[in-house]
Structure 1
Amino acid sequence: MITLKDIKENDKFRTLIKWAAKCMEAIGYTEHGIRHCSYVSATARNILEKLHYPERVQELAAIAGYIHDIGNSVNRKNHGPSGACLAFQVLTEMGMDMDEICMITSAIGNHEE
């Protein structure tokens, strides 16, 4: 079972987050690196905890929150769908359950809606 800890330790996700932050900095946006990822991750988990969702769903929300902006490594415009595609690839390589991948990529792909 893939956890947030596994995501944080994954070299591909680390690289995507690093490049997303660089791209955002280059166009004058606020910080979008590890601090932002960690904040969104903790907030997503906290919301679902307060709503009494199962612990695994809370963990998936934390994962989605942590990697939600990796599409910024491609382009700011449509970074949600781009990020969902990137996340799908890496999560599949990591061996995550397909239902869990779909839950995460749906959240990432629609987070600007």
Structure 2
Amino acid sequence: MEFEELESLRGIPKKIYEEIDENKKINTLLKMSNVMAVGRLGYNDHGKTHAKIVANNAIKMLKILYKKGILPSFMRDCKGTFDDSLTITLLGAYLHDIGNSIHRDIHHLHSSYLALGIVEEILKRHYKEEKAYQLTTEILHAIYSHSEGIMGLTIEAGVVAVADGTDMTKGRSRVPICKKCYDIHSVSAASVEKVEIKEGDEKPIHIEVILSNEAGIFQIQEVLGEKIKWSGIKNYVSVYAKVKKEKPVFEEITI
């Protein structure tokens, strides 16, 4: 997947994206994350494809919020630029799951310390030292707080967490599926056809989920709903679901 194909990444410093996309250590950690998460635990993809989907969706949401007049936290609190916040979001989203290479348990913590050296090395090539360290702490916060149970305290961290939950179309569930079972998890995971992120009217971010059947509601509530709940940006996000076979009317999901 080339840089130009990731529509919402436009505006990101291209050199930074190319560095992480080609970085041997990052690619190896993402590959090993899938060895652990997919091969040993039965989860679906937590590797490079997931990293790019989450980065794309997180940046799309950050841009929507900014367009709606909601300043990213680094701009508000640290007098940073919007490009700085884009960099935080990109690196936080791209590296949030590398800790799965060590273990799924507390993988958000593993991801944080694995990312530290990588992030500092990359940022020091593009920013002055103090700015690089400031950005590093914000990126690590986004990585650490993407898991349920840890409240995101920045807008950038919030969009990373929610974006993580949006990667749930069939075959890409964030919940481990028993391949030999026919239960609510497996049926629900197979029911999510498409997830779209748009500008909303009542709330800035409008997420539409297309389902093949009603069982997909479980996936929305258990995966995306939990991410939104702990993201810190719950008040900015609305979720609507539509069952494909029915009339094209969306039903709002209460998170």
- With normalisation by structure 2, the TM-score equals 0.42
Contact 1:91 1:101 in 2 (8 A): yes
More strand by share: 2
* Separation in structure 2 between the aligned mates of residue 44 and residue 7 of structure 1, nearest angstrom: 16
Q: Which residue identity lines up with residue 137 of structure 2 in the other structure?
A: C
Bigger radius of gyration among the two = 2
Q: Alignment partner for residue 104 of structure 2, among 68, 71, 76?
A: 76
Provide the aligned length of Structure 1 versus Structure 2. Answer: 113
Deviation (angstroms), 1:34: 1.4
Contact 2:33 2:101 in 1 (8 A): yes
Q: Alignment partner for residue 57 of structure 2, among 40, 43, 62?
A: 43
Deviation (angstroms), 1:95: 4.7
Contact 2:91 2:139 in 1 (8 A): yes
Q: Which residue of 2 aligns with 1:12?
A: 25
Name the SS of the counterpart of 1:42 in structure 2: helix
Superposed CA offset, 1:81-100 (max 9, x none): 11010000222233531111
Q: Alignment partner for residue 90 of structure 2, among 62, 80, 85?
A: 62
1:88 aligns with 2:116: yes
Q: Alignment partner for residue 133 of structure 2, among 92, 98, 102?
A: 98
1:31 aligns with 2:59: no
Contact 1:20 1:72 in 2 (8 A): yes
Find runs of 4+ consecutive structure 1 residues off by over 6 angstroms: none
Q: Which residue identity lines up with residue 103 of structure 1 in the other structure?
A: E
* Separation in structure 1 between the aligned mates of residue 16 and residue 120 of structure 2, nearest angstrom: 14
* Separation in structure 1 between the aligned mates of residue 23 and residue 99 of structure 2, nearest angstrom: 16
More helix by share: 1
Structure 2 stretches lacking a partner, 5+ long: 1-12, 67-71, 73-81, 125-131, 151-255
Structure 1 stretches lacking a partner, 5+ long: none
Superposed CA offset, 1:27-68 (max 9, x none): 100111211111100011111111114133123202211111
* Separation in structure 2 between the aligned mates of residue 108 and residue 93 of structure 1, nearest angstrom: 17
* Separation in structure 1 between the aligned mates of residue 123 and residue 37 of structure 2, nearest angstrom: 30
Name the SS of the counterpart of 1:94 in structure 2: helix
Contact 1:45 1:59 in 2 (8 A): no
* Separation in structure 2 between the aligned mates of residue 107 and residue 56 of structure 1, nearest angstrom: 14
